[in-house]
A and B are shown apart, each in its own frame.
Chain A
Amino acid sequence: MRIAALALLTLFLAALGLAAGRNWLTLSELAQALFGSGADARMVWNLRVPRLLTGVIAGGCFGLSGLVFQSLLRNPLASPDVVGLSQSAALGAVLALLAGLPVTLGAWAGGGAAVLILAWLAAHPRHGIEPRAVVLQGLGLAILAGAATEALILRASDGDAGMVMTWLGGTLNGVGWPELARALWLLPLMLPLLLAGRALDRLELGDDLAHALGLRVGALRAGLGALAALLAAGAVSLCGPMAFVALAAGPVARLAAYGRPSPVTAALAGAAFITLADLLARSFAPAALLPTGLYTALIGAPVLILAVWRQTRRDAP
């Protein structure tokens, strides 16, 4: 029920997103633009449709990735934007951008390096990966990657620096069909994670128990973690490190799915989140070209505060 409601909300926001912008379209104008021709049709098909779909896919990737990391590490704060994965992917993407290399590859290299560093740092010789350590060390990694990115910006030319700064805020400005084509490559990577709900559910009961229930725990953890990292880094390469989307999507999805780690719900929550934020970015002061990430932060920061508040309340004796 709640999941269907979330899906409907995403669809509604998407439809609103197509109508919204500097020129608001009425329902009949939108229908005409979608199925007809003319200036409105060109605007909708060349600008709004690819921008919307890219945002939906990026949001889905962030949401899935956030849920998978939070579930694997059994910590509601362990999302890719907290443990330094998004920041490292952004660093790799900025390096690639300045060097004229493909942005996605740079983001994947950065995100992949972050995951390997964290796994190596946090691996406990007797008990496997230590979730608390991953979160704390990831926080350090996030600051380090952010500082390195700032150093790159300071050394870049004014034009490059401006472009990178906007992108780092998380933006869908200028996204068109080529970016959507890149986003489509992420869909096959999403599929295994969308089907991994049961495995995540069992892994949350503890590694030994999951193992004894017949799961191949090591392979599952490595595979799910690697896919989640690729998705988060891929989404960063599309629209920059969109603040709080990955972090907030997990708890929202759990609320909608009665506490269970439902990947489909998390992907929907992420997609709805970015669609809503982009809707706001294009509706309020569209001329200012404010980054979409500003609005995800404005919505997401209260969610973060709430998540921590709930966790401390639960952990209290």
Chain B
Amino acid sequence: MSFTVRDLSVRLGGVPVLQGLDFTLPPQGITGTIGANGCGKTTLLRALAGVLPLDAGSVQHEGQDIAALSAKARARRIALLPQSGHAPPGLTVRQLVASGRTPWLRPFLPMAAADHAAVARAMAAVGLEDLADRAVESLSGGQRQRAWIALVLAQESGTILLDEPLNHLDLPHQAGLVQLLRDLKQARSIVMILHDLTVAARSCDHILALRDGRLVASGPPDMVLAERPLAQTFGIEFEVSTMPSSGKRVVLPEGF
């Protein structure tokens, strides 16, 4: 099991944001987290990453309570890419990606050969080797997003948490990134937040559906991305059908 979450509750500034979440995620593959704005998806991701104090309950990663891990040990197991990545002006792609090596570095010592190799592998995995010495701010939106993905790849953790990685990307770049994540899932488990339910149906192996800080459903896409659980999650009706040509699932919200 990558994550085992028991009775998880989180308050932010006294306001309950997550309440009594219980679920288990499969050891490999991509988990998609869905739900309306403000339902607690980002807070759940932060709780899984261990960057947030829990109000109650526990988060276990591969059988280990993450609250009991040191910050460094946790960072070697779990990587988190928050949604709003703002690179400081002038920062190059290579420098940004090298930040991912932080949990592996010894204090005050420079990167070792193995770290440089990991950075090079991460940049190659997202196809940014040729732009390594360009400033992040000078890249296109799709390239910039891939640079941030390379940062978490360089972290070489078994689990990667991504907050809306497909946001602000055009369709070809979305497809490219999903393909990249599907290649990655052979070796790692991925949990990501996404809004496009058809993309979720095609690319995810497991779905978590949240509403108002509570878990509506946790299970395989066939089960969760169906008309009844989706209506419970979003409060609007959906039409779910299967494409006759490919047998793939299409999710259409009503009301448009």
Contacts and interface: CB of A to CB of B under 8 A. Distances in A.
- Which of the listed residues B85, B87, B99, B155 has the most CB atoms from chain A within 10 Å of its own CB? B99
Contact of B80 (A126, A204, A209, A254): A209
Contacts of B108: 195, 198
Interface stretch (B29-37, B56-64, B88-96, B170-178): B88-96
- Which of the listed residues A205, A206, A260 has the most CB atoms from chain B within 10 Å of its own CB? A205
B213 interface: no
B76 interface: yes
B89 A206 contact: no
B87 A205 contact: yes
A125 interface: yes
Interface residues of A, number: 26
Interface string B1-33: 000000000001111000000000000000000
Interface string A83-126: 00000000000000000000000000000000000000000111
B167 interface: no
A201 interface: yes
- Which of the listed residues A205, A212, A215, A314 has the most CB atoms from chain B within 10 Å of its own CB? A212
A259 interface: yes
Q: How large is the interface on B (under 10, 10 to 19, 20 to 34, 35 or more residues)?
A: 35 or more
B102 interface: yes
Interface of A, helix, strand, loop or mixed by DSSP:
loop
A214 B75 contact: yes
Given A211-B51, A213-B102, A206 B84 contact: yes
B253 interface: no
B81 interface: yes
B49 A213 contact: no
Interface of B, helix, strand, loop or mixed by DSSP:
mixed
A241 to B, nearest CB: 28
Nearest to A76: B89
A209 B81 contact: yes
Contacts of A206: 82, 84-86
Nearest to B73: A214
B25 to A, nearest CB: 18
B72 interface: yes
- Which of the listed residues B84, B96, B102, B105 has the most CB atoms from chain A within 10 Å of its own CB? B102
Nearest to A197: B108
B79 interface: yes
A215 B102 contact: yes
Contacts of B80: 208-209, 211-212
Contacts of B95: 260
A205 B71 contact: no
Interface in B213-252: none
Contact of A126 (B13, B50, B81, B89): B13
Given A211-B71, A214-B71, A259 B100 contact: no
Interface string B166-195: 000000000000000000000000000000
Shortest Cβ-Cβ A-B pairs, 8 listed: A259-B90, A125-B13, A214-B75, A212-B80, A214-B103, A211-B51, A213-B102, A214-B72
Interface of B: 12-15, 46, 49-51, 71-72, 74-76, 78-82, 84-91, 95-96, 99-100, 102-103, 105, 108, 155, 161
